[in-house]
Structure 1
Amino acid sequence: MKSKLMLKFMIMVFPFITLTLENLTAQIQHRYRIVDEHGNSIESAIVRIFEMPDSTLVQTLVTDTSGVVNLELLVGLKYWVAFSRIGFKNTSLFIDGAVQKPQDVILIYDDSHLLAEVEVFANRPLVRKTADRVIVDIGRSPLAQGRNGYESLSLLPGVIVSTDDDIRIGAKSGARVMIGNRLLRLSGEELRNYLQALRAEDISSIEVIARPPASFDAEGSGGIIKINMRRNTNSGYNGTVSTNFSHGRYSRFSGAATSSVRTEKLEAQASLNIPHSVNYRQTDIGRSQWNSSERFESSSFYRSGNAAFNYRMGLNFYPGKNHTLGLEASGSFLNEKVKAMSADGTFASSGTVDSIMRYSNFPDTREKGLFDLGLNYRWDVDSAGGALELLGNHYSSKSERTTYYSSNFYDTQGSMLRSILRYSDLGTNMDISTIQGDFSKNIVQFVTLRTGAKFSRVGTRGDNCYKNFDGEGEWQPDSILSNGLSYSEKVYAGYASATLTMASTEIQAGLRVERTDMKTRSLGDNQEFGNLYTNFFPSVFLKQEITERQYISVNYTRRILRPPYQALNPYRILVNENTMSEGNPYLRPQLSHNFAFSYSPDPDFEITLSYDSQTDVFGDTELGSSLKTIVTTGNIAEAKDATLDIFWSKDFTQWWTSMNNLSGTYNRFRNDYFDRHAKFLFATTNNTFSVSPVFTFQFNGRLFTKGVDRYYTILMNSWVFDVGTMVRLMDRRLVMTMGVNDIFHRDGNRRLSMDNGTFQSITHSKWDTRRAYIGLTWQFRNDYRAVRGIKRSNQEEVNRTWN
């Protein structure tokens, strides 16, 4: 109810703010003349303006016949301005919007990249490498169009999404996902469902951070994948209207609109996204138990159709030159219809059929609503980068899933033995509140101090109600399966880090301390489980420049991966009559030590050798016989990974940029029952061809070799190719994209075997990854300034919510 009232209020207020502030922009004009090395004016040079610090493109201009260009820049912002012209080397400047410095910009003549009968237009690379992360500008990628947020992860260099929905950076499992500065506490199927509700067109960029520093939450033993959502980056009055259609086995459609307005003191923005999609997954499983001659086989088909309504609204107020106050509200309503069918058979040692079960459900309904409110205050203490930030967030969600399903059992002659009709109502409520403060200051020359504290409180309650049909027209409660769970968690965290920068040396050291107090209570028998622990997470980073173009770096971090909330539920949840899931309230957090050494002989080439040691690794284990499967989560093993990463980028011409990553991993995965060694190779290539100011073509390829991966054996190579184009028409206001993802349908077609010391199984899964798409976006605007977003403090807590 609160979220609906907030939505109605923002919808009523926003148009009045827009109309009032439309023409009140404040700006200063900067004049530049572009000349060659002999002082001759250069006509028709391309000038592109990016707002710092996120390098958002806000305007593209062309010099006049005198080589002059006038930039209208907003007071209080800093910009990176890039200058380019066919036949000249590119150059760039950093500009303060409040400081006027008219000057000549010199371009040096260079004919090495000229092409006959082709106009060259340079774009900022879609993939960029910095000292501690890889940044992919998903929002500008033609290949991202038609994908959802989950599918966009496959476009990231070095990122692997396994068949069990585990997201990895290289060989390291347990990578966490952030939306902005908020960590999502989701995993497995729940994380996949959450990200599938996002449109790739609404994502600005994704950052892959293998070894986050102390200023990040310590959650995520496998590193952090940070998703930065797109905002309307123009001030004055601006907006977009877009639509997208794609088709694979099933069709998907989405429509979206954004609007923003900005003045010297205030900015407002709003966005609305309505996606509709249909997804499927087909799975065949063969399983046998080590001490049994019986064999179990299952074939299942899962189809879901969902429609969502997502909104986001925000206000930023600038009361003074160095102060920013931000308020943002966002929410989502999701309705999903699911149809599932399966056929399970058991076989004796002779190969004859013992029994068959056929399972199907009436299309069940899943509904979820969430509301997120964030408040942000920032004070820029000085011009050297000192700042104080205070953040507060409250997140609440409610989900409910109702299902009617039947299971029929047959003997070897095909005669029905019995039939079971069940009803389930599964509901979950969750509230997450966080408060966070960060302070940074250049305390002495060359030394920057950063410190902060955070408190988070999580409360969740789940109620699972099961009923059985007695055959006489009555539904009887199932006291064995019906259960409930109440979970609470408090995390107190603080950190401090210092950065020393002198000439060619940079040293960063930090320490984060987190104290966790968690309690789980079973509502069925009022049984309680608790855990209280304190962890220290040091981080050290050293970078030494050898020459202007060469450097070496050494990095160490310690990380934690807390169990998802639902994995702590000690009761069983029915999948079908042969398969159930069960939580484990005694799960311990997964801890890791990460070491890395990097050498870069050139800014476009880097080699990294890393070693990761993980203890109490989470993993699924199976209980019971091969005929009845109960899947639970346990701390099953320790893992050690050694990885060699090679990152290479190359501008073959001014219109062809290629980014490539090659990873080779050796892994050891062991416990008291097995000791397995893994070797596999993962490679990606991202190629962008910008042959004109209005036409861009992109080609991506990925390879993941077959071999042993922990207790899985990958039985087939996975090689994936994507192609896409982007065309800008009507003075670049109309953007059209089209292409095909996973041309040969290899990403969504995987076979693997598993041997965990108790069971052996072979699984073959297929899902909808080969899709053709087309999208249209219309941009309307009357100015070109960049809009800032606000930080969030509760990203980590939301990531573990499984619902």
Structure 2
Amino acid sequence: MMKRYMLSILVLMVFTNLAARGQSRKLSLSAHRQPLTRILGQIEEACDYSIVYSNEVVPDTMLVSIIAQKISVAELLMKILPEKQLFYKMMSDRLLVIGSNRVIKLPGETEKRISLSGRVLDRQKNAVPFASVGLMEGGAYTGGGISDENGYFQLTYPFRNGLKYTLKVSSVGYQGLVFDFAYPDTAVLAAIALSEEQNTLNTVSITTSRPLIERKTDRYIVNVEGSALAYGNTGLEVLQKSPGIWVNSEGAIKIKGNQSVMVMINDVVQRMSEDQLAEYLRSLRSEDIKKIEVISNPPSEFEAAGSGGIIHIVLKKSRNDGFSGQIGTAYKYGNRPFYAAGVSADYKLKNLYAQVNVSAVKDKSNYIGGTADIAYPDQSSYAGRTNRYNNNSRNQYRFGLAYDLSKNQLLGLQVMGGGSEMLQTFKTDILLSRPAELINGNALSDWVRKPENTGATLNYLLRLDSAGAMLKVIGDYVCSSKTELNDFTSRYTDASKNSRYRNNTPNLTNIYSLQADYTKGFNGKLELKTGLKYVAAKRDNTILNEDFVVDEWIKDDDSSNQFIYNEHLLMAYLTLEKNIHQISIKLGLRAEETYMKGNSVTSGQRFSRKYLGWFPTVFLVQKLNEKTGSALYLNYSRRLKRPQFNYLNPYRLQLNDYEVMTGNPDLLPEYTHKVELGYNFWNGFSADIYYSRTENSIAQFVNPIANHVIEYQPRNFNSSSDYGITLDAPIKFFKWWTSSNSIVLFHLATEINNFKVDQYSFYAKSMQMLTLKNLFDFDMFVNYASPYVTSNSKMGYIFYVDLGITRKVLKNRLRMRVSATDIFNTFKEQEYTNYMGTSIISYQKRPTRTIGLSLSYSLTSGKQFKNKKIEQSNEEEKNRIGN
């Protein structure tokens, strides 16, 4: 009943929001010979648009008369612009640009018109989008245009040889530029450089933020900067509250259905375990995030590995010479405390840029009550009640340097690392039921893990021309190591079942990679990308199992093992992207050859494999109506997932008396075909359907074996299919009330041998954000996930509600936030497995109801400067380390 009730509330909330927003851009106007600039200002204020134009296109002396009752913005503009020889173009859902069709004909002019193209850049050779470009001849304005999002523009006019023309270029935040050129000498148009200005130009009007959601050819973008998500949230909370992104309690991130994703920050893949990544994202301030790119079907320039997609967090840029930094701390209490602190700083002096980030976490908060109930075919059963106690410490550091060798060359270096110490204690009460017998017992497990990561990246960037051609070369190295010891003791009323043993499982991974990428643009209409990449990886796993016998530890030779794995990858790709009128097309093809060898040193077991894969991608976007921002999109990709390094190890690891984990050297890579069809219809609203089918799907299989032991082993499923429909609906009721809503309905099915498991599932979430000026910001987040399947198990439903209040003081430099999570204490985790007559039910209740306080302070000095990206090339391999 509760699940149905919550589903009804969430569905009603979303569709009520849809209906309300659907009428929000109607307006009424009555004006007699009023300046057009004033009318445009009223449209911006009433309908939450940003309208870009220059004074040459819309002078203050241009007057209009209009009487309109409850008409759309599109209808209103079509009434007043054509008579002034003006037109408008929707650049996104809330951003439109005003241009002019006015052309002055010269005496004796022929009708032959010539098109010239150019590009507007800043002093750092970055594109300046939506710049106003005005063409003048003899002091008279003859026409112009607007640069696109990549800075390209086009002028069409009957140019004549030998005549001099004047070009006026302006954009918000830049100094206006006026210069002359004589046709046909137009080389100066290829790269028009604007200088940044400290004060906003008066010649361009922008009054509101960009839309929350923008659709591109192969991804959609959540514009965090300037939105209600931009203040008072951590990086993880921004993801949690962003449309189409789903985050569970442990920080596992998904896009659609049950597909996991890879996370990148400023083009650098975050090679951490889920809990480490979650802690890092919690230390990231939402005020530092510019946008989030969600790529559910990555194009060919990304590695073919991983079917779940990519989430790319782009941090803010646009800074000049000087210093900026942030200091933050957080405290959270459920039933035990959690502390976090972090410092980040950026500094630029002339051609040198430096960045450092250090963070530390102390976590004692994760006290968990859990149960496990197993019923066996012989009528016996196991019941365990476990409490877990954590005492975890984590630290991370990042250091980066970038140096401009010249205006067209950049050299960058990044060094990063981190270490953790995770001390966990599990205490379990056990009841064994056998025919005509009851056995009581208890178990104690002390688990100590100490993972460490270090890495370095060196990259070189060469800009080859002003049209965007560039060459990138990236070299990368990462070393990951982990020591792990689990000491297990059990005692029963039947002393013959008593046991004590320990597992020592250290590992070491080294990855080297080198890649080169070339990009070439052709007149702003066609872009080519191609590249090569080589990766070498080596993994050394050791498992030392020991039994405690007569007061000493004795090695168990049968289950101890050393395994060495080597892998070499050679990759190449080519993509072409072209705009044809209202259609954007992006085609790609990637080839990856894999050569791998495995050697079980202890047993002498060896294997090797070599295979070549081809991975095509297709992306199509059809703009249906630029006035409303509607578009239809279709994409397809073939993807690959290689087994994690430790999965291929033929080991046997005893977790406790009734659970064992084993490797599988026979694992094959899985291949996924994925298709998406969607409709982006208005103001960030979008709906799409998707289908994916995976052969040899890799999943952790739960299997009852002899002596009432449950075995967990990665296996290849015959096939796995996933299809569903998604709806994202960002809504702004008022300037002070914004809502973001997402719904996913999907079906996931897997099959192994003759066993099948499938489930229809439903995710829904709604975020309400209220900004009360001079008081505080309030947010409420509601999340529901119905039961879903994974491998041959089913997971129970999840529901919770979070609240937060943020207060900004000291000119917004200091932000204080009080948060309450899972206020109704409804978050619980349940898993069900029924296989070969054995039923397994597990339950966990974490201390999810917490209250927390966080403080962050920002400081800056000097001018602003641009961050330099330091990219890495061994993206997917680091995710396979599996620490």
Same fold at TM > 0.5: yes
Q: Tell me which amino acid in the other structure corresponds to 1:284.
A: T
- Select 2:679's aligned residue among 589, 599, 621: 599
Q: CA deviation at 1:299?
A: 2.5
- Select 2:698's aligned residue among 618, 623, 632: 618
Residue aligning to 1:24: none
- Select 1:568's aligned residue among 612, 633, 648: 648
The structure-2 alpha-carbon separation of the partners of 1:165 and 1:38, relative to structure 1 and needing over 3 Å to count, comes to closer
Deviations 1:502-540 (A, max 9, x none): 221111100011111112211212211222111111000
Q: Distance in 2 between matches of 1:789 and 1:509?
A: 26
Specify the SS of the correspondent of 1:784: strand
Residue aligning to 1:704: 785
Q: Which residues of 2 match residues 262-411 of structure 1 at below 5 A?
A: 262-278=348-364, 279-289=366-376, 291-348=377-434, 353-362=437-446, 364-411=447-494
Residue aligning to 2:585: 507
Aligned residues between the structures? 707
Specify the SS of the correspondent of 2:284: helix
The structure-2 alpha-carbon separation of the partners of 1:410 and 1:465, relative to structure 1 and needing over 3 Å to count, comes to same
Residue aligning to 1:248: 334
Residue aligning to 1:68: none
- Kindly name which structure, 1 or 2, has the bigger radius of gyration based on alpha carbons: 2
Specify the SS of the correspondent of 2:506: strand
Q: Tell me which amino acid in the other structure corresponds to 2:787.
A: K
Q: Distance in 1 between matches of 2:419 and 2:228?
A: 28
- Select 2:732's aligned residue among 651, 672, 678: 651
| Structure showing greater relative contact order (alpha-carbon pairs closer than 8 Å, 6 or more residues apart) | 1
Q: Which residues of 2 match residues 82-481 of structure 1 at below 5 A?
A: 98-100=193-195, 104-105=202-203, 107=205, 130=216, 132-135=218-221, 154-160=240-246, 167-183=253-269, 190-193=273-276, 195-196=278-279, 199-201=282-284, 204=289, 206-227=292-313, 235-278=321-364, 279-289=366-376, 291-348=377-434, 353-362=437-446, 364-411=447-494, 416-443=495-522, 446-471=525-550, 473-481=551-559
Q: Which runs of 5+ in 1 are unaligned?
A: 1-34, 49-72, 83-91, 109-120
- Select 1:490's aligned residue among 568, 571, 576: 568
Q: CA deviation at 1:729?
A: 1.4
The structure-2 alpha-carbon separation of the partners of 1:551 and 1:198, relative to structure 1 and needing over 3 Å to count, comes to closer
Q: Distance in 1 between matches of 2:222 and 2:805?
A: 17
Residue aligning to 1:578: 658
Residue aligning to 1:86: none
Whether the aligned pair in 1 keeps the contact of 2:695 and 2:717 (CA below 8 Å) is no
Q: Which runs of 5+ in 2 are unaligned?
A: 1-34, 51-121, 132-169, 176-192
Specify the SS of the correspondent of 1:566: helix
Percent identical among aligned pairs is 23
Whether the aligned pair in 2 keeps the contact of 1:232 and 1:258 (CA below 8 Å) is no
Whether the aligned pair in 2 keeps the contact of 1:79 and 1:95 (CA below 8 Å) is no
Q: CA deviation at 1:274?
A: 1.4
Deviations 1:741-785 (A, max 9, x none): 2222334x0223223456322221222333222111122211333
Q: Tell me which amino acid in the other structure corresponds to 2:444.
A: S
Q: CA deviation at 1:431?
A: 0.7
Deviations 1:407-433 (A, max 9, x none): 11323xxxx445323233221111111
Q: Tell me which amino acid in the other structure corresponds to 2:825.
A: H
- Select 1:551's aligned residue among 631, 654, 658: 631
Out of 681-690 and 154-163, give the one that drifted further: 154-163
Q: CA deviation at 1:633?
A: 1.0
The structure-2 alpha-carbon separation of the partners of 1:603 and 1:731, relative to structure 1 and needing over 3 Å to count, comes to closer
Residue aligning to 2:612: 534
Whether the aligned pair in 2 keeps the contact of 1:421 and 1:468 (CA below 8 Å) is yes
Deviations 1:654-674 (A, max 9, x none): 222222211111333334323
Q: Distance in 2 between matches of 1:626 and 1:318?
A: 66
Q: Distance in 1 between matches of 2:481 and 2:741?
A: 42
Whether the aligned pair in 2 keeps the contact of 1:143 and 1:725 (CA below 8 Å) is no
Out of 736-745 and 706-715, give the one that drifted further: 706-715
Q: Distance in 2 between matches of 1:135 and 1:744?
A: 33
Whether the aligned pair in 2 keeps the contact of 1:235 and 1:787 (CA below 8 Å) is no
The structure-2 alpha-carbon separation of the partners of 1:677 and 1:423, relative to structure 1 and needing over 3 Å to count, comes to closer
Specify the SS of the correspondent of 2:274: helix
Specify the SS of the correspondent of 1:249: coil
Out of 458-467 and 193-202, give the one that drifted further: 193-202
Deviations 1:579-636 (A, max 9, x none): 1100001111111111111122324222211111111112222251371122111012
Deviations 1:423-453 (A, max 9, x none): 3322111111111111110146622111111
Q: CA deviation at 1:567?
A: 1.1
Q: Distance in 2 between matches of 1:632 and 1:165?
A: 23
Whether the aligned pair in 2 keeps the contact of 1:438 and 1:450 (CA below 8 Å) is yes
Q: Tell me which amino acid in the other structure corresponds to 2:809.
A: L
Whether the aligned pair in 2 keeps the contact of 1:310 and 1:333 (CA below 8 Å) is yes
Whether the aligned pair in 2 keeps the contact of 1:76 and 1:96 (CA below 8 Å) is no
Q: CA deviation at 1:175?
A: 3.1
Specify the SS of the correspondent of 1:37: helix
Residue aligning to 2:54: none
Q: Distance in 2 between matches of 1:439 and 1:132?
A: 19
The structure-2 alpha-carbon separation of the partners of 1:561 and 1:243, relative to structure 1 and needing over 3 Å to count, comes to same
Specify the SS of the correspondent of 1:104: coil
> Root-mean-square deviation (CA), in Å?
3.5
Q: Tell me which amino acid in the other structure corresponds to 2:296.
A: A
